């Protein structure tokens, strides 16, 4: 049943999976660096908050560098919340455009790699052709929804 | 996947008494299973992550989301996420190198060497998370 066109497409997908995977390594390193290790702009801090603290609207704390940068950009009275730290990055128009472009590309590559891989796994365990087709359609629909939602979030953030 | 490590002759297939095949787990099989499991886990994480970041468009809900992600359970999850990412990335890189460069190195040694690199990356990268968790659970005044 495997037509020539289908097997060509499978080979291309197999090849693409390796290309996207290699790309993802570099993109993930960039993503991790920005989110976790830059003293000024890391959105994820190491604070662990108890349920009680979260209920009382306690927010994770940031480095003195991040606080100073937020205050320098948004004024002495600016609150240093996770949202403001992200906005600090997006306040620079050049960085904002680069960040948006990078994240849209990252989103597309990650979704393709993830959902292609998931479909590989599913087609190994789902034997019924109809069920396999259904799983394929449902999973790629979810990927499409995430692509639209994710692109919207990235584009609208800070504007 | 080109990760077969045959060091003993295959035994005749045992009679299958359930719908699941019984496998002999050796290095190559372990690498493949762990790649699969971490891959599926990462897709699940990706869905939650992208869906959650809808909050990026609103200050209050974004702060609420991020505060929630600092709960102990998510901090533990963050460490597990790092472990899954590092393993999947390095094992994936191994697969790409073998598939594209036609490498036929000593498979087992390559796998365990990359395993050592992974352990270092997970240890160094995960240290702040583990430290803050230990502090939270055991050292909090």
Question: Both tokens of residue A37?
Answer: 């290790």
Above pLDDT 70, what percent of chain A?
A: 98
A5 touches chain B (CB under 8 A): no
pLDDT beyond 90 at A34: no
Among candidates A18, A46, A114 on the partner chain, residue whose Cβ is nearest the Cβ of B100:
A18
pLDDT beyond 50 at B1: no
Above pLDDT 90, what percent of chain B?
A: 38
B77-129 confidence digits (pLDDT tens): 999 999 999 999 999 998 888 888 777 667 778 888 888 999 999 999 899 88
Q: How many CB pairs under 8 A join A and B?
A: 107
Cβ-Cβ contacts under 8 Å, A33 against chain B: none
Calculate how close chain A gets to B80, using CA atoms only, in Å: 15
Tell me the C-alpha distance between A128 and A130, whole Å: 6
A49-91 confidence digits (pLDDT tens): 888 888 888 888 888 888 888 888 888 888 888 888 888 888 8
A81-92 confidence digits (pLDDT tens): 888 888 888 888
Interface test with A, best of B51, B64, B66, B88 (most A CBs within 10 A): B66
Tell me the C-alpha distance between A110 and A92, whole Å: 26
A135 touches chain B (CB under 8 A): no
Contact B50 A22 (CB under 8 A): no
Above pLDDT 90, what percent of chain A?
A: 45
Please give the ipTM for the structure prediction: 0.88
Angle at alpha carbon of residue A59, lines to A27 and A82, rounded to 5°? 35
Tell me the C-alpha distance between A92 and A98, whole Å: 10
Residue spans of alpha helices (H) in chain A: 4-32, 51-55, 64-74, 82-90, 93-125, 129-156
Location of structure tokens 């796994």 = A121
Tell me the C-alpha distance between B141 and B137, whole Å: 10
Residue spans of alpha helices (H) in chain B: 27-52, 59-68, 72-101, 107-134
CA distances from A82 to B64, B67, B129 (A): 9, 8, 18
Tell me the C-alpha distance between B66 and A88, whole Å: 16
Angle at alpha carbon of residue A89, lines to A87 and A95, rounded to 5°? 130
Q: Helix or strand or coil: residue A34? A: helix
């Amino acid at each position: 049943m495997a037509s020539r066109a289908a097997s060509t497409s499978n080979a291309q997908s197999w090849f693409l999976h390796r290309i996207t995977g290699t790309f993802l390594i570099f993109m993930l390193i960039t993503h991790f660096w920005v989110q976790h290790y830059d003293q000024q702009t890391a959105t994820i801090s190491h604070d662990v908050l108890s349920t009680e603290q979260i209920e009382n609207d306690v927010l994770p704390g940031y480095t003195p560098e991040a606080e100073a940068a937020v205050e320098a950009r948004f004024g002495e009275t600016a609150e240093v919340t996770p949202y403001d730290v992200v906005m600090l990055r997006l306040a620079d128009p050049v960085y904002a455009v680069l960040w948006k472009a990078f994240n849209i590309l990252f989103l597309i590559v990650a979704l393709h790699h993830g959902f292609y891989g998931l479909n590989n796994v599913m087609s190994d365990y789902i034997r019924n052709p109809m069920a396999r087709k259904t799983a394929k359609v449902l999973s790629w629909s979810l990927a499409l929804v995430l692509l639209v939602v994710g692109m919207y979030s990235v584009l609208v953030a800070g504007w | 996947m080109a990760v077969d490590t045959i060091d003993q002759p295959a035994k005749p297939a045992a009679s299958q008494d359930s719908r699941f095949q019984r496998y002999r787990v050796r290095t190559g099989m372990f690498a493949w299973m762990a790649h699969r499991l971490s891959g599926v886990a990462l897709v699940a994480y990706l869905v939650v992550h992208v869906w959650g970041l809808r909050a990026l468009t609103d200050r209050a809900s974004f702060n609420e989301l991020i505060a929630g992600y600092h709960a102990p359970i998510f901090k533990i999850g963050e460490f597990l996420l790092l472990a899954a990412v590092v393993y999947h990335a390095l094992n994936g890189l191994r697969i790409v190198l073998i598939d594209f460069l036609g490498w036929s190195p000593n498979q087992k040694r390559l796998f365990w060497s990359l395993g050592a690199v992974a352990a270092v990356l997970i240890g160094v990268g995960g240290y702040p998370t583990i430290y803050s968790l230990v502090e939270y659970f055991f050292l909090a005044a």
